[in-house]
Amino acid sequence: MSEISFDDFLKVDIRVGTVIDAQDFPEARRPALKLWVDFGPDIGTKKTSAQITKYYTPEKLIGRQVAGVVNFPKKQVGPFMSEFLCLGFPDGQDDKGIVLINPDQEVPNGSRLF
Helix (H, G, I), strand (E, B) or coil at 7: helix
Tens of pLDDT, residue by residue over 3-30, are: 999 999 999 999 999 999 999 999 999 9
User: Which pLDDT score, from 0 to 100, does residue 51 have?
Assistant: 95
Give per-residue pLDDT as tens, 54-92: 999 999 999 999 999 999 999 999 999 999 999 999 999
Q: What domains are defined for the chain?
A: 6-104 (2.40.50.140)
Hey, how many other C-beta atoms are within 10 angstroms of the C-beta on 37?
29
Q: What is the pLDDT of residue 94?
A: 79
What pLDDT, on the 0 to 100 scale, is given for residue 22? Answer: 98
Q: Which residues contact 17 (CB under 8 A, 6 or more apart)?
A: 37, 38, 39, 40, 43, 46, 65, 66, 68, 109, 110
Higher pLDDT pick, 98 / 94: 98
> What pLDDT shows up at residue 67?
98
* Ranges 40-44, 86-90, 91-95: which has the least confidence: 91-95
**How far is residue 99 from each of residues 27, 52, 74, 96, 103, measured CA to CA in Å?**
22, 7, 23, 10, 13
Edge-to-edge strand list for the sheet holding 45-50: 45-50, 33-38, 14-24, 65-69, 85-86
Per-residue pLDDT at 39 exceeds 90: yes
